[in-house]
Each structure stands twice: as C-alpha cells, then as structure tokens.
C-alpha cells in the first residue's frame, strides 16, 4: 500500500506499514530480506509494534469525522423536537384556556398581566387557617416551646432541650465590647510630625 518507490522512505514508516499489514507480498518480502540482515530494521519493527500497541490502547483519540457529523445531526433533531414540543404546549394553553389558568396576554402590558396572574394564584393570607400562619415575631420562651412539644406528643430527649437552651444562651446579646483605642496601641516612639518632616 505504501509507496516504496519514494526516494527517502524511512525505516520507521516501512516497519509500521509492515506491522500494519499494509505492504503487498513483494514489498513484505523485500522488507523481510532487510530483517534477515539488518539489526536496525529489526529494532525499528519492534518499536513500531510497541508504538502501535500503545496507540491502540489509548482511548483519547478524536472521533472520526462521520460520527461527529452524526452527533451534530442528532443534536439538531433533538433541538427541533424540543422546539416543537414547547410550541405545542404554548398553543394548547392559548386555545384551551378552560383549565383554570387564565391565558397570558402578549400585549404591551405583558409583564403587568404576568405579575397579576401570579398574584392571583397566591392564596389569600386572611383565609389561611390560623394554626398554619407562622408568626415570625413570636419569641416563644423555652417553657412555651416545651408546652408546644408536649401538646404534639413528641418525645424530645433532654439533651436536645439542653442544647437548644445552650444555643439560646449563646445567642443572647452580650455586653458591648469596648472600642479599641488606637492611640493606646501606637508605641510612644512612633513616627511623629517632626520625624516625617526630617524624612
């Protein structure tokens, strides 16, 4: 297969083609005559075998052109399918608005309509049962917490209550830290104005 009539075909290439089975019968016979007498040719053949085996064991080769084209085609089909699906859902919502959701308008005030629809979908806090409303301002004391726990019938271990009490104690405001007096931190013999002027 390889062009053996090239004026300067190197021995490495010839050895590789021999190892690859790319030489025809005559070319292979010629190379084998060389192997019979030339130690350099033998070592090149051994090196060609080693190299081709290393390459064959390497999984990091770039994909061939065709498979990559196929991958791109698959991606194109996939994105087309996703676009069609999104379009179908959009049309379905527009043509069949009786599913309890108001169709969204695409007029100039589209953003306002979207915000209004979102606000309408929220539950009215006044209609929410009182026991489900979370009072963020509630500063329940540990005793009140205990009462809630006992009402729920939860069996909370003492160590957990102790840990909670410890956390609360740790988060209690401490005395205000005294401000640092930077004048006191400066050494007495530090730079003064006269030193700066001398410099």
Where along the sequence are the contacts to another protein (CB under 8 A)? 1-4, 11-13, 15-16, 18-23, 25, 28, 30, 32, 34-43, 45-58, 60-66
Q: How far is the CB of 73 from another protein (least distance, A)?
A: 17
Nearer to another protein, 53 or 195 (CB): 53
Nearer to another protein, 11 or 104 (CB): 11
Minimum separation from the CB atom of position 76 to another protein (A): 21
* Cβ at position 74, least distance to another protein in Å: 20
In angstroms, give the least distance from the CB of 45 to another protein: 4
For another protein, the closer of residues 52 and 145 by Cβ is 52
Instruction: Label each residue of the chain as H, E or C.
Output: CCCCCCCCCCHHHHHHHHHHCCCCHHHHHHHHHHHHHCHHHHHHHHHHHHHHHHHHHCCCCCCCHHHHHHHHHHHHHHHHHHHHHHHHHHHHHHHCCCCCCCCCCCCCCHHHHHHHHHHHHCCCHHHCCHHHCCCCCCCCCHHHHHHHHHHHCCCCCHHHHHHHHHHHHHHCCCCCCCCCCHHHHCCCCCCCHHHHHHC
Nearer to another protein, 64 or 119 (CB): 64
């Amino acid at each position: 297969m390889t062009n053996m009539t090239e004026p300067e075909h190197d021995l490495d290439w010839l050895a590789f083609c021999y190892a690859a089975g790319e030489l025809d019968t005559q070319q292979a016979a010629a190379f084998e005559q060389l192997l019979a007498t030339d130690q350099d040719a033998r070592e090149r053949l051994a090196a060609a075998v080693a190299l081709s085996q290393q390459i064959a064991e390497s999984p990091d080769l770039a994909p061939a052109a065709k498979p990559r084209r196929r991958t791109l085609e698959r991606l194109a089909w996939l994105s087309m399918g996703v676009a069609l699906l999104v379009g179908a859902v959009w049309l379905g919502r527009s043509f069949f608005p009786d599913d309890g959701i108001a169709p969204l308008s695409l007029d100039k005030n589209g953003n306002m309509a979207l915000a209004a629809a979102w606000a309408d979908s929220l539950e009215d806090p006044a209609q929410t049962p009182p026991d489900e409303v979370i009072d963020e301002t509630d500063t329940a004391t540990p005793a009140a917490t205990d009462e809630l726990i006992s009402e729920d019938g939860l069996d909370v271990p003492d160590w957990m209550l102790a840990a909670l009490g410890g956390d609360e104690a740790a988060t209690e405001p401490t005395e205000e830290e005294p401000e640092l007096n930077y004048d006191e931190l400066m050494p007495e013999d530090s730079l003064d104005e006269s030193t700066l002027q001398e410099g």
